[in-house]
Amino acid sequence: MQIYNTATHRKEEFIPITPGQVKLYACGPTVYDYFHIGNARAFLFFDVVRRYLEYRGYDVTYVQNITDIDDKIIARSLEEGIPFDEFAAKYSRAFLEDAAALGIKPPHHQPRATEVMPAIIDLISQLVELGYAYEAEGDVYFDTARLPEYGSLSGKRIEDQKAGARVAENTLKRNPSDFTLWKNSKPGEPVWESPWGLGRPGWHSECVVMSQSILGQTFDIHGGGVDLVFPHHENEQAQAYAISGKPLANYWLHNGFLNIEGEKMSKSLDNFFTTRDILTQHSAEAIRFFFLSKHYRSPIDFNREIIAESERAIDNFRNSLSDIDYLNLPADEGYLQELESFEAEFIRAMDDDFNSAKAIAVLFDLNGRIRNQGLEPSQRQNAARMLVRLGSVLGFFQNLAAELSSSLPDLSIQLIELLIAYRDQARADKNWALSDKIRDDLAALGITLKDTPTGCVWSHKE
């Protein structure tokens, strides 16, 4: 698999730290409003990265944080006269609702910055002790001049920033590129106690703690929109290098920006759309289709015609699938083999830096087969199954895919559930050898078990 790595500015073979496992972190929302349609691009893209890596057999741990303390949250909550924590809780809930409405699979972990405050203070204290950070009047800054790796992710150099000396308004900083790790409190702001007095952390330290505490010191993939490369991700990477001499992540992925009819989306230009608004007029699948029909690194332009076109494409798939009964069909071996070439093409596209636009072209080809009356009904049914299976890897047809995976004869389902109950008993008895054997034997039959906080869930891959 090839992935474009922002840190090296080229496509690279993807090699996870631990074979078979992927640790993935994507920056989540800052919850000061309903998230906009540009944010939706980032959230949907990393949902697809996670789904595709899972489909390729990796055991993925996906962490997406919620930034629930930030200047904008404080400013807006003061404007609206709502306590900041209530305000952040309201928009965190709205984020979870809208992400679910978009068909985004919940990440395995969704840490919030305010929940990890002691660990953030600990990180900043270590940076001070190691000489990479300094205190000035209750603020703490990262000393970028101390770190040779500073600028390596974004390609920005400290000297370039010195040249633009207008940045030097803040006289507490030693270098213009130094960034805030801890901010002294102002009256009326939420505060936490720290060795530097009452204050609150900077955004860049929050993400370091939320990612490393779950995924380890260096993990596989860190992502977000291209606007985060500098300063946010550069400044996260700097803290990791300062503490351990190692990068925070091996691969850095960034999605391109969404513009509205060629312009940057902004409230002042009156072209600002929340995802919640768009979802009242368009289906989640059409929004997903709109984004995935373009390569994730290219900028994308949002306008009414394009989204209407996406809606038509999705309707077209839905109509084909509703015209044909593809559940419980007797498999036509020869034809299934023929369909393998479609799956191979799909994988080739997605393995090439998540080329979802090419992968969608494979879905169109399958759709053509379903509609081709010249083919045998079983051939068309098989094409429909493949369409649902591959489409669901990109997050389409989620309900149909669930139906398909539960279209095993009832007795098989009961037997799988019986084996899971036996495995639960084996685990309760600490009989790990038996519980592992049950899991592995089921895996050999294409049935994957996954332990979640609410119990074991299974899935079936044909």
How is 184-199 classified by DSSP, letter by letter?
A: E--TTS--B--TT-SE
Q: Nearest-CA neighbor of 55 among 351, 331, 436?
A: 351
Please say which residue, 27 or 249, places its beta carbon nearer to Zn ion: 27
Could you tell which of Zn ion, ligand AMP, none binds residue 207, using a CB distance below 5 to 8 A set by kind? Zn ion
Q: Are 287 and 102 in contact (CB under 8 A)?
A: yes
Does 329 participate in binding ligand AMP (rule CB under 6 A)? no
Residue 158 Cβ, how far from ligand AMP at the closest point, in Å?
Answer: 24
Tell me which of 14, 22, 25, 41 binds ligand AMP, using CB under 6 A.
Answer: 41
The DSSP output letter for 142 is E
Length of the chain: 462
Q: Are 22 and 53 in contact (CB under 8 A)?
A: yes
Residue 37 Cβ, how far from ligand AMP at the closest point, in Å?
Answer: 8
Please say which residue, 66 or 313, places its beta carbon nearer to Zn ion: 66
3-class DSSP assignment, residue 246: coil
Residues that bind Zn ion (CB under 5 A): 27, 207
Which window, 8-16, 251-259, 317-325, 361-369, contacts ligand AMP (CB under 6 A)? 251-259
Residue 292 Cβ, how far from ligand AMP at the closest point, in Å?
Answer: 14
How far is residue 411's CA from residue 418's CA, in Å, rounded to a whole number?
10
Residue 92 Cβ, how far from ligand AMP at the closest point, in Å?
Answer: 12
Could you tell which of Zn ion, ligand AMP, none binds residue 199, using a CB distance below 5 to 8 A set by kind? none
Q: Which stretches does DSSP call E strand in 229-319?
A: 249-255, 258-260, 263-264, 300-302
Mask 210-239, x = binds ligand AMP (CB under 6 A)?
A: --------------xx-xx-----------
Residue 330 Cβ, how far from ligand AMP at the closest point, in Å?
Answer: 46
CB atoms within 10 A of CB 370: 23
The DSSP output letter for 10 is E
264, burial (CB in 10 Å: exposed 0-12, middle 13-18, buried 19+): exposed
Which window, 22-30, 186-194, 242-250, 447-455, contacts ligand AMP (CB under 6 A)? 22-30
Please say which residue, 172 or 265, places its beta carbon nearer to ligand AMP: 265
Residue 407 to residues 70, 198, 331: CA-CA distances in angstroms?
47, 58, 13
Tell me which of 5, 6, 30, 184 binds ligand AMP, using CB under 6 A.
Answer: 30
Residue 36 Cβ, how far from ligand AMP at the closest point, in Å?
Answer: 7
Residues at the contact surface with ligand AMP, assessed by CB under 6 A = 27, 29-30, 38-39, 41-42, 224-225, 227-228, 255, 257-258, 265
